[in-house]
Structure 1
Amino acid sequence: METPLPSLSALRAFEAAARNLSVTLAARELNVTPGAVSLQVRELETALAVKLFERRPRQLVLTDEGNAYFATLRRAFRMIREATEDLAARNRPPVLTISCTPTFAAQWLVPRLDDFEKNMPGIDVRLNASNRLTDFDRDAVDVAIRHGFGQYPGLASERLLDDELVPVLSPALMRSRPLIEPADLRNHVLLHDVQRQDWRLWLDAVGASDVQSTRGPVFINSNGAIEAARAGDGVALVRLSLVARELREGALVAPFACGVATNLAYYLVYPAPALDRTAVAGFRRWILDQVRKS
């Protein structure tokens, strides 16, 4: 004949009190009164005919029997929690966490995510927009899109978009102050992102080295420079892939055919085992297809 189990409420009260070594903290955790916890523990001791705690002034100490019982109960409650989490996870949509720079998120990825969700419905997409380097384990990130040289030790890296710098401005500013040749930029406000040296690189490449490259406001990322250009506040030097939509829709114009290539590009980065997950493998296929179409 099986030994009848004590009440679950009493076991929870004892486990919480033993883990915190405090009736007050256990009560706070269980959202009950300290008196209720004490009563449950005493009833458990009575049912088991075992003393579980030595009750001292302002101190709760486990007896040898209580300590052994707590160790077993702790494992049991952990297993119950893990089983419950696993069961709940089966009923939740798969989560795909993507880390990328704020500029890439706003200018390239977000406008296309609706297409991804149509192709792979039921995936909970979460964007972690940050310029900080990604720690995949610590940040619980599945894939990252990073701007760099593509060298990420221990990670798979696939080139997405090449990096060509082009000056852009609003159509209204172009009409009021036409840019016929690069030297005309001396008559315009230059808009910079944090890569302030990019203007010098572009001006030297097109033979306009006499234009002062450092003047004009600096924005913390390309989003600010692009929005300022759209508002007619000046000429922004940005990566072509980030303004393709604005150029296509006529919100911005690129007055010069000459872009300047750099050694940097956007890369899809991920731990190789991540491709075992359907959501990650599907996102990889989708974004590579989007790049081919762009």
Structure 2
Amino acid sequence: MNTRRLPSLSALRAFEAAARHESAKQAAQELSVTATAISHQIRGLEEALGVSLFIRRPRQLELTPQGRELQQVLETAFDSIGHVVERLKTTPARQAITLSTTPAVAVRWLLSWVCMLRDSHPDIDLRFHASHEAVALDGVTADLAIRYGDGRWPGLVAEKLFDNVFIPACSPHLQLHDVADLPIHPLIHFRPQAATSVSPLDWAGWQKLAQVPGLDVSAGLMFSDETHAISAAIGGQGVALMSRQLIEDELSQGRLVQPFGPELPGKPFYLVYPESRRKDPTILAIREWVMNVPGGICDLSAESDPMPTPGPSVMSR
């Protein structure tokens, strides 16, 4: 590694100021030292370099050619340092925050709207923690989360984002219309692997209500990732039981259809964060963004009952 062999930086600074003002007295005033101290620094610099930097005239310092060369380099260097220092002083500190949610909620609902957060809070770096497991909101693994459940988590504020309805869904290419024909098509299952995760409704729960003759709810394709199950349904690989909220785009675009009922109400999705951080500005910024993402409780379809955006509620311990 090359080691820079530089003269005293204080001597260089004293010289640059004296060269700019052509006066040791004015340089001393700028640097809040005595003129004698400036002269001492310059003489020490000349001795270190082995050249004369000034021609000393009464009441004026005139740069030698060597002094002019050094002064030009130092002026550029000090200007650059000053600009960087000012930029660093005025650049707002960036805040990193981690939001934990399921892969499907992250990919199919939130990611398309990250631009809204960047526009309103460019100083926040959002990090996604994609998992079906409820992780600790300790500020290390995650800061806040979107959870599927009953909304009762001790020590956490829980705000409902949207209700959850599960429906049979498949590609229109299957031409499935009659529930009696369901047993001849493969079922697509989603079952998270995390032992502590809350499992959504499955085909067994749907069959208890539908009572379709000959339907084997244990057979078919099994996925541990909801997005993969949705992709398989879009690809015509079978019929999936999916959260309608998470496939709204595919339904509206006709890539998926709901061939029949019944529909099953599931547990809602909630935004949760520690009660102790309910006034944290970064938490509040993410809350504002999530609450205003299209498709949430502020953007329910006309078929749903109108519900106002809830305020923070403290969960019982």
Structure 1 and Structure 2 fold alike (TM over 0.5) = yes
In the TM superposition, what is the alpha-carbon distance from 1:210 to its structure 2 partner? 3.7
Q: 1:231 to 1:156 in 2, by over 3 A?
A: same
In the TM superposition, what is the alpha-carbon distance from 1:181 to its structure 2 partner? 2.4
TM-score, scaled to structure 2: 0.58
Q: Deviations over 1:131-190 (max 9, x none)?
A: 2222122635221011122111111111212221111112222xxxx2222221111110
1:232 matched to 2:246? The reply is: no
**CA–CA separation in structure 1 for the residues paired with 2:156 and 2:250:** 33
Q: Could you say what secondary structure the match of 1:243 adopts?
A: helix
Aligned counterpart, 2:99: 98
The answer on whether the counterparts of 1:225 and 1:236 sit within 8 Å (CA) in structure 2 is: yes
Q: Sequence identity of aligned pairs in percent?
A: 33
Question: Residues 119-134 of structure 1 correspond to what in structure 2 (within 5 A)?
Answer: 119-134=120-135
- Stretches of structure 1 that go unaligned for 5 or more consecutive residues are 1-86
**CA–CA separation in structure 1 for the residues paired with 2:244 and 2:124:** 30
Question: Residues 6-45 of structure 1 correspond to what in structure 2 (within 5 A)?
Answer: none
**Equivalent of 1:256 in 255, 260, 264:** 260
Q: 1:247 to 1:118 in 2, by over 3 A?
A: farther
Aligned counterpart, 2:299: 293
**Equivalent of 1:246 in 243, 247, 250:** 250
The answer on whether the counterparts of 2:166 and 2:201 sit within 8 Å (CA) in structure 1 is: no
Q: Deviations over 1:58-104 (max 9, x none)?
A: xxxxxxxxxxxxxxxxxxxxxxxxxxxxx99x743222211111121
Q: 1:119 to 1:249 in 2, by over 3 A?
A: farther
Q: Which has the higher helix share?
A: 1
Q: Could you say what secondary structure the match of 2:236 adopts?
A: coil
Q: 1:203 to 1:109 in 2, by over 3 A?
A: same
Q: Which has the larger radius of gyration?
A: 2
**Equivalent of 1:208 in 212, 216, 227:** 212
The answer on whether the counterparts of 2:93 and 2:123 sit within 8 Å (CA) in structure 1 is: no
**CA–CA separation in structure 2 for the residues paired with 1:226 and 1:96:** 29
Question: Residues 1-294 of structure 1 correspond to what in structure 2 (within 5 A)?
Answer: 91-137=92-138, 139-173=140-174, 178-194=175-191, 195=199, 198-208=202-212, 210-256=214-260, 258-262=262-266, 264-290=267-293, 291=296, 292-294=298-300
In the TM superposition, what is the alpha-carbon distance from 1:105 to its structure 2 partner? 1.0
Q: 1:165 to 1:272 in 2, by over 3 A?
A: same
Which amino acid in the other structure matches residue 145 of structure 2?
A
Q: Deviations over 1:229-280 (max 9, x none)?
A: 1111111111111111211222211122542113x22111101232323232
**CA–CA separation in structure 2 for the residues paired with 1:267 and 1:138:** 18
Runs of 4+ in 1 over 4 A off after TM superposition: none
TM-score, scaled to structure 1: 0.63
Which amino acid in the other structure matches residue 287 of structure 2?
R
Q: 1:119 to 1:208 in 2, by over 3 A?
A: farther
In the TM superposition, what is the alpha-carbon distance from 1:130 to its structure 2 partner? 1.4
Q: 1:255 to 1:162 in 2, by over 3 A?
A: same
**CA–CA separation in structure 2 for the residues paired with 1:201 and 1:192:** 12
In the TM superposition, what is the alpha-carbon distance from 1:197 to its structure 2 partner? 6.5
In the TM superposition, what is the alpha-carbon distance from 1:226 to its structure 2 partner? 0.3
**CA–CA separation in structure 2 for the residues paired with 1:213 and 1:236:** 11
Q: Deviations over 1:18-47 (max 9, x none)?
A: xxxxxxxxxxxxxxxxxxxxxxxxxxxxxx
**CA–CA separation in structure 2 for the residues paired with 1:111 and 1:191:** 26
The answer on whether the counterparts of 1:182 and 1:203 sit within 8 Å (CA) in structure 2 is: no
Q: Deviations over 1:202-236 (max 9, x none)?
A: 12223325411111011012111101111111111
The answer on whether the counterparts of 2:92 and 2:123 sit within 8 Å (CA) in structure 1 is: no
**CA–CA separation in structure 1 for the residues paired with 2:116 and 2:262:** 32
The answer on whether the counterparts of 1:161 and 1:267 sit within 8 Å (CA) in structure 2 is: yes
The count of residues paired between Structure 1 and Structure 2 equals: 203
**CA–CA separation in structure 1 for the residues paired with 2:230 and 2:143:** 29
Aligned counterpart, 2:42: none
